[in-house]
């Protein structure tokens, strides 16, 4: 079992190269099922979630392999619309493949997908969205979708779910009707999917707004498509919070992230300073312990992302004052706090909120990650705490960060991956 051994308390200095966005890459891999040709996803991270999605592509007849830093998917041999249960139970992103299979074959079958333990995440909103567009759904041990009579309708999502928005977009891409998705998620990763579907020959408009219109093209043929996804704003935000906790100065390379990112607001009037170049955050500098961050609510985009909520909580332990964090996306996403309490952190959880009393010295401890972003929170605490800490559950952290220990060493942290 692999663990991270961390000798903490060091300030961070240096440059960070940000990978392509995990939350863009995974739907693009799923969407490549629509393409009876080759898809090239540039600067694709070799994270474990990507590796599982590659296995799914191979299981249904396609090819998937890396050519240096680019992921190549050849969909010409895909001939199955039933997803393998053993793999779909490993990764929640497998549910995206349902829409792509409906688009290509008219049918799709999946078991309920797995993923991180961050509270209930049923796929009912995906089912509702596809039903609303005209698909028939049979629910049992497996969920079977029938879209052979075509998708042509309007659906209003009861919550702006990123996955349901993307699934509906894919399902409608290769049909002959017009589908309208209202109360759609606005995340920038959806724009990447829109670009890809349009490159295939579909007609998709409105990505990034609350209404997406898909005019399907049933004569989509195989094409060679190259796409470079946006930089991973969650990885960038994670490294920002590493710096907040440890102090120091990091510079993002060409994959820097837009200045409108939530961090601009959070760092304003605090000890954290950001420097912007060409509309992008280029440098984050922390010379002294920041103050408490006040009240932060994790909400759908463009609000503060739930995928950075655990890292914010951990970094708040090192701020001088109170921070209140509320999660309105995944209310039960505070299981990682139990592990942080081993470090003498002063955190209290109240339902979908927690209160952090920061500024108290933490102690090194051995903790265990039970999910991806909770694991990033434990690393945040460990690298900022004097002494030797151990973080287990590395397999969860590997789901979203490629070689995170190497990137941390490059900016001055003492982190080693050890097989116990």
Q: Please provide the DSSP assignment of 102-159 as one string.
A: HHHHSEEEEPPP----SS---SHHHHHHHHHTT-EEEESSSEEEE-TT----EEE-SS
Count of structural domains, the chain: 2
Residue 350 buriedness (CB in 10 A; 0-12 / 13-18 / 19+): exposed
In a domain, 387, yes or no: yes
Cα(295)–Cα(328) distance, integer angstroms:
13
pLDDT recorded at residue 120:
46
In a domain, 95, yes or no: yes
Residues 274 and 167 in one domain: no
Residue 366 has pLDDT above 80, yes or no: yes
Q: What is the mean pLDDT of residues 364-383?
A: 97
Q: Tens digit of pLDDT for each residue in 297-308?
A: 999 998 999 999
Cα(336)–Cα(118) distance, integer angstroms:
9
Mean of pLDDT over the chain: 92
pLDDT recorded at residue 353:
96
Domain edge (last residue) among 215, 246, 277 = 215
pLDDT recorded at residue 342:
98
Residue 288 has pLDDT above 60, yes or no: yes
In a domain, 224, yes or no: no
Domain edge (last residue) among 170, 190, 215 = 215
Q: Tens digit of pLDDT for each residue in 64-108?
A: 999 999 999 999 999 999 999 998 888 877 888 999 999 999 999
Pairing of strands 257-258, 280-286: antiparallel
Percent of the chain with pLDDT over 90: 78
In a domain, 297, yes or no: yes
Residue 116 catalytic? yes
3-state secondary structure of 303: coil
pLDDT recorded at residue 260:
55
- Sign, Cα dihedral of 139, 53, 171, 168: positive
In a domain, 106, yes or no: yes
Residues 49 and 142 in one domain: yes
Q: Tens digit of pLDDT for each residue in 184-209?
A: 999 999 999 999 999 999 999 999 99
Cα(167)–Cα(388) distance, integer angstroms:
44
In a domain, 389, yes or no: yes
Q: Tens digit of pLDDT for each residue in 115-133?
A: 554 444 468 899 999 999 9
pLDDT recorded at residue 397:
97
Residues 114 and 181 in one domain: yes
Annotated catalytic residue: which of 44, 85, 111, 116? 116
In a domain, 223, yes or no: no
Cα(359)–Cα(96) distance, integer angstroms:
42
Residues 189 and 211 in one domain: yes
- Of 173 and 277, the structure prediction assigns the larger pLDDT to 173
Residues 274 and 174 in one domain: no
Domain edge (last residue) among 184, 215, 246 = 215
Q: Tens digit of pLDDT for each residue in 38-59?
A: 999 999 999 999 999 999 999 9
Contacts of 223 (CB under 8 A, 6+ apart): 35, 37, 199, 200, 201
Q: How many CB atoms lie within 10 A of CB 229?
A: 27
Residues 253 and 204 in one domain: no
Q: What is the mean pLDDT of residues 355-366?
A: 96
Cα(241)–Cα(245) distance, integer angstroms:
6
Q: What is the mean pLDDT of residues 336-364?
A: 96
pTM: 0.94
- Of 410 and 231, the structure prediction assigns the larger pLDDT to 410
Residues 97 and 116 in one domain: yes
DSSP 28: H
Domain of 8, CATH number, reads 3.65.10.10
- State the residue range of the domain holding 168: 22-215
pLDDT recorded at residue 265:
75
Residues 211 and 244 in one domain: no
């Amino acid at each position: 079992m692999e663990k991270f051994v961390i000798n903490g308390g060091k300030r961070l200095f240096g440059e960070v190269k940000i990978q392509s966005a995990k939350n863009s890459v995974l739907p693009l891999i799923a969407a490549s099922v629509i393409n009876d040709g080759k898809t090239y996803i540039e600067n694709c991270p070799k994270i474990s979630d990507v590796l599982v999605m590659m296995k799914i592509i191979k299981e249904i007849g396609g090819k998937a392999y890396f050519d240096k830093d680019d992921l190549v998917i050849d969909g010409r041999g895909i001939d199955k619309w039933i997803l393998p249960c053993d793999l779909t139970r490993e990764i929640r992103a497998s549910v995206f493949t349902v829409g792509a299979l409906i688009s290509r074959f008219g049918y799709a079958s999946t078991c309920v997908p797995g993923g991180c333990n961050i509270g209930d995440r049923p796929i009912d909103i995906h089912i509702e969205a596809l039903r609303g567009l005209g698909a028939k759904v049979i629910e049992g041990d497996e969920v079977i979708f029938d879209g052979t009579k075509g998708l042509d309708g309007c659906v209003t999502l009861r919550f702006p779910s990123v996955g349901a928005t993307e699934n509906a977009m894919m399902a409608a891409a290769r049909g002959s009707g017009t589908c309208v998705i209202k109360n759609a998620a606005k995340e920038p990763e959806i724009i990447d999917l829109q670009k890809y579907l349009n490159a295939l020959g579909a007609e998709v408009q409105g990505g990034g707004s609350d209404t997406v219109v898909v005019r399907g093209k049933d004569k989509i043929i195989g094409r060679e498509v190259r796409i470079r996804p946006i930089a991973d704003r969650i990885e960038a935000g994670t490294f920002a919070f590493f710096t907040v906790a440890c102090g120091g100065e990091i510079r993002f390379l060409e994959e820097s992230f837009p200045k409108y990112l939530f961090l601009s607001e959070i760092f304003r009037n605090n000890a954290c300073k950001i420097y912007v170049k060409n509309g992008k955050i280029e440098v984050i500098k922390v010379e002294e312990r920041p103050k408490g961050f006040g009240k932060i609510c994790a909400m759908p985009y463009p609000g503060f992302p739930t995928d950075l909520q655990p890292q914010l909580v951990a970094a708040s332990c090192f701020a001088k004052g109170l921070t209140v964090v509320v999660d309105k996306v995944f209310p039960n996403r505070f299981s990682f706090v139990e592990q942080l309490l081993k470090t003498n952190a002063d955190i209290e959880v109240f339902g979908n909120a927690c209160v952090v009393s920061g500024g108290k010295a933490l102690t090194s401890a051995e903790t265990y990650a039970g999910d991806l972003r909770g694991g990033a929170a434990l690393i945040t605490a460990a690298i900022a705490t004097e002494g030797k800490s151990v973080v287990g559950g590395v397999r969860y952290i590997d789901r979203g960060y490629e070689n995170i220990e190497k990137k941390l060493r490059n900016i001055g942290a003492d982190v080693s991956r050890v097989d116990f």
